[in-house]
Amino acid sequence: MEAESNSWKEMLLAIPFRNEAADVEPENNGIRVTVFAKENPVPLLLRWLIKTSDRKYYSIDELGKYVWEQCNGNNSVETIVDDFANKYCLSFHEARVSVCEYLKVMIQKGVIAIGMDKN
């Protein structure tokens, strides 16, 4: 149980930051983030026949936009969770679950990366 507790502590101390290569445009109440695709699913020999894009587009709603803006390389996950909880009238636990799951998906898509504070 102690190892699980330590992993949560480490996760809360992590520093998320935006992919600097991403293009960001306003979209409705949120934003549209464009990143280069990590890999092209179409085999190389078929790319001349099937047009594919080397970019991926993600529409991010108002809640996601708020988290995206907080991922500036200065705020820890814990700070973002605290601010999110206060802004949207949630408990810390509710906000932690939502924010951490969102960050996990955005990391997998290459929109956000995580660093660790050296202190």
Q: 8-116 has which fold?
A: Outer Surface Protein A; domain 3 (3.90.930)
- Strand partners for 12: none
Q: Is 103 exposed, middle or buried (0-12, 13-18, 19+ CB in 10 A)?
A: buried
Q: What are 57's strand-pairing partners? A: 34
Domain parsing of the chain, residue ranges: 8-116
Beta strand 55-60 pairing with 30-36: antiparallel
- The sign of the CA dihedral 16, 21, 24, 30 is negative
Distant-in-sequence, close-in-space partners of 21: CB < 8 Å, separation ≥ 6: 35, 36
Query: Closest Cα partner for 71 from 118, 30, 106?
Result: 106
Q: What pLDDT score was predicted for residue 17?
A: 94
Are 31 and 61 within 8 A, CB to CB?
no
pLDDT at 4 over 60: no
Q: What digits encode the pLDDT tens for the residues 13-64? A: 999 999 988 999 999 889 999 998 766 555 655 555 666 667 888 999 999 9
Q: Residue 1: its pLDDT value, please?
A: 45
